[in-house]
Chain A
Amino acid sequence: MTDQNAPKKTNEKKNISRRDFLKITSTATAGAASAIVPKISFPAFLRQTKMELNFLTWFWTETGRNDAWRAMIQKFHDSQSDIHLNETGYGENNYFTQILIQAKSGRIDADLYTATPDVFLRLLADGHTIPLEDVVAQAGVTPVAAQDMLRKDGELHGLDIVTVRFGNLYNKALFDAAGLGEPTSIDEWVAGAQSLTQRPNQFGFFSPHIAAEPFTVWFILQQWAVLYDGVWAQGKTPLLTSDPVINAIKLFKTMYDTTMPQGTDFGTANQMFASSRIAQHLVVSPAVNQWKSLATDTELYDNLRSAQPFWPGGKAISRIHPVCVNANTDPEKQAAAKEFLAWLYTKENYQELLERCLDVVPAIEDGIRPEYHDSLKWVSGYDAATAITVPEVLGDFVLYNDELGQIVTPHLQEVLAGSKSAEDAMTEAQTEAEELAGRVFTS
């Protein structure tokens, strides 16, 4: 008996909160509320109680970035008393699984959430985002052109809050101790990394390669083909047997065999970098903030440098990570979320966020203060690289980023394990990728 009553009670509760909201808006029935999204922003005086917003992101578990965001949100809470943000989320390797279970069940369980470029495109297509043009207008800023990939029908559906770019980040103290300068070619890079390797105490290089970290492995591997000025696919054609890709796999194998702490996870490798036992990573710029926070050695941060691009073409993948407002949450909450974003996206606050996160690629015009930029010793290599976007590197496969990754990374593991040559493995991968293309691009 009590079982039958239980669901009713919860329904009533839901109806009451909805009814309150309907009094004000009188726009949609409870059922349609999730489908129709009125663009109304509510004056603060209409809200009686504090508006609680859930902010779903992996930032809370990212060392350095979490502190930066908490500081900004604290500042926001201090600046007004109507809106309060709560942290929800998961670590990066689990985040997308969870957000997709939620999206699949019809609704992401948050008011604000962050995404990677490829996940964003999927969520955008399935209507989990709302236009945020009014936020940009209210903040009075101009988004940089790179944000255009977040547009649908000309309107921004997400606001970039961190652009990451690849570069070769190294520990200058270790380079100096070995009498090494920055590499000027890939061959020099390999030779340098090898000379820095004294197993098992010191390793010349690290790149994630274990299968338990699938996102990270594929995400970083993408840059390796760019080292030979190549791409993984063009339009609907996979290019896995092209010279740059084959060379990239071979290069990875050489570095793996001769310079890396094999079988080590990213977390432990970060720890080793922070204690000066790994000399360099091919990695995105936010790693700097993690190492800065992790390092017990206060000098480490001063010794971080990003190498001038030594590879042909000098391109580096730039990845945009947008924050979005959930289309399937109460319009009142959407309005509050927009209010927060408009506050965050004003030039001063954005600059502060960028600096606290130790980021270097601004998402808005004048988003980075020159004094801050010039104070960073490690930024010149990241700056010198030519940006290339994920769609440029993956072609139409950008929508099938993970599928392509699931084809490439197992074959990479085979090559690393020495059971197949790079050519054979990539020939198989190419066939599999063509099958994928045949399946997904026909309809």
Chain B
Amino acid sequence: MGVQASVNAQFIKPAQNRQRDWLPYMLALPIIIYEGIFILIPIIQQFGSSFTSDIIGFGAAKGVGLANYERMLNDKFFWNSLRVTLGFMAATVIVAVGAGVLAAVLMNQRFRGRSIARAVMTLPWAFPDLPTVLVFYWILNPSFGIANVFIRFFMPWLTENPKWLLDINLAMPLVVAIASWKAFPFYGLVTLSVMQSIPQELYEAAKVDGANTRQAFRYITLPALLPIIMLSGILACIFAFRQFVLIFLATGGGPGRVTETLVISLYKTAFRSFDFSYGATIGVSGFVVVFVITLLFVYLQHRQEAEAAR
């Protein structure tokens, strides 16, 4: 690169000793203001609303203290939706990130038609949410869906079509599958990009040392990928928590309440039962839970980075 380390050292050291550097703050400020206007102020308003009783058809909002939170702690549906959310998050993280990593490994191989395969394998990322639900709903129609043809081909002993999204036991796995179908290409691309940045010399050196492909993967690729896998996990968690359109249109939280995540429950409470204050309570609480989980992830990631740096 033609940069001398000595120049580098000369330049940086005095700069650090000088007065505080304002540039990062100037850069960050517009973003903080921007996010403040569109997200933080509204969320604070909602937080306030969780201490009121604010239901359409029952006059202006009244302060009720912690009553909503008390109700929530005794609300079995809240606990159910918390369980469902955590289950959905865990399952999508595993399936989507797992499929993404596998896809990245495949896309990183040299083979004929790789560029076409790469485009096709990542296509769902570009496929919008609404058409995704539409077409999966149609594929999985218990009466006319093409999925019945496939399942009967592989399981010819079935006497009747599965109920797919209407089946208590199948609904959640299917929703996870649909959400993962849509999400995995992103994690695949991110992982692939890191894979391609691993210096080829490392593999060559390993080969010289007598390592086989599997060992090279285990000792070179995987450690290099761990940070990106962790980050993908965090993002997958966040996106799974926020997932609305896919679940809402595919199952509406049903059958029963097996796919009723916190966001679905919040939406139903606020926009179908008109109980905005309790909806806000559910939303704020769910947010806190997920925030804690994410912090845990971030902490783990930091520790891991620190270890790697050592």
Contact = CB atoms under 8 A, between A and B. Distances in A.
| Chain A directly contacts chain B within the complex, with at least one CB pair under 8 Å | yes
Interface in A409-430: 409-411, 413-414, 416-417, 419
Interface string B44-56: 0000000000001
A200 B145 CA distance: 11
B32 to A, nearest CB: 15
A403 B75 CA distance: 14
A103 B56 CA distance: 8
B71 A214 contact: no
Contacts of B249: 212
Contact of A212 (B57, B142, B252): B252
Name A's interface SS: helix
B143 interface: yes
A406 interface: yes
Given A97-B271, A262-B142, A211 B276 contact: no
B104 interface: no
A139 interface: no
B103 interface: no
Interface in A170-218: 199-200, 209-214
Interface stretch (A9-17, A117-125, A245-253, A357-365): A117-125
Given A212-B251, A406-B272, A410-B257, A263 B165 contact: yes
B244 interface: no
A36 B268 CA distance: 33
A199 B252 CA distance: 27
Nearest to A425: B256
B272 A414 contact: no
B272 A214 contact: yes
A210 B164 CA distance: 12
Contacts of B272: 96-97, 214, 402, 406
A264 B140 CA distance: 10
Given A103-B56, A104-B276, A402-B272, A263 B164 contact: yes
A30 interface: no
A309 interface: no
A416 B256 CA distance: 10
Contacts of A417: 163, 166-168, 255-256
Contacts of A125: 57-59
A414 B255 CA distance: 6
Interface string A88-118: 0000000011001101100000000000000
B141 interface: yes
Contacts of B59: 125-126
B282 to A, nearest CB: 13
B256 A212 contact: no
A103 B165 CA distance: 34
Contacts of B163: 262-263, 417
B240 interface: no
Nearest to B53: A443
Contacts of A416: 166, 255
Interface residues of A, number: 38
A419 B166 contact: no
B98 interface: no
B2 to A, nearest CB: 44
A196 B285 CA distance: 51
A126 B57 contact: yes
Interface centre among A125, A200, A212, A262 (most CB of B within 10 A): A212
A123 B58 CA distance: 9
A211 B56 contact: no
Given A399-B57, A414-B168, A406 B143 contact: no
Contact of A406 (B144, B251, B273): B273
B239 interface: no
A261 interface: yes
A220 B99 CA distance: 42
Interface residues of B, number: 35
A122 B255 contact: no
A263 B256 contact: no
Nearest to B260: A410
B251 A419 contact: no
B250 interface: yes
Contact of B250 (A212, A264, A399): A212
Contacts of A403: 273
Contacts of A419: 168, 256
Contact of A126 (B56, B142, B256): B56
A50 interface: no
Contacts of B141: 263-264
Interface in A360-387: none
Contacts of B254: 211, 409-410, 413
A357 B167 CA distance: 38
Contact of B256 (A262, A400, A413): A413
A101 B274 CA distance: 9
Given A100-B56, A262-B143, A263-B141, A122 B274 contact: yes
Interface string B282-304: 00000000000000000000000
B100 interface: no
B52 to A, nearest CB: 13
A8 interface: no
A262 B162 CA distance: 10
Interface in B58-87: 58-59, 71
B248 interface: yes
Interface string B122-166: 000000000000000100111111000000000000000001111
A383 B5 CA distance: 93
Contacts of A439: 71
B143 A200 contact: yes
B57 A123 contact: yes
Contact of B57 (A122, A211, A262): A122
Given A212-B252, A263-B165, 17 more contacts: A100-B56, A101-B271, A104-B56, A104-B274, A122-B57, A199-B143, A212-B137, A212-B249, A212-B250, A214-B272, A262-B142, A263-B141, A402-B274, A406-B268, A413-B166, A416-B166, A417-B166
List of 7 A-B pairs having minimum Cβ-Cβ separation, nearest first: A122-B57, A211-B254, A211-B252, A413-B255, A263-B142, A261-B143, A414-B256
Interface of A: 96-97, 100-101, 103-104, 121-123, 125-126, 199-200, 209-214, 261-265, 399-400, 402-403, 406, 409-411, 413-414, 416-417, 419, 439
21 contacts: A104-B56, A125-B59, A200-B144, A210-B252, A211-B255, A214-B268, A262-B142, A262-B163, A263-B145, A263-B163, A263-B166, A264-B143, A265-B137, A402-B272, A402-B273, A402-B274, A406-B272, A413-B255, A414-B256, A417-B166, A417-B167
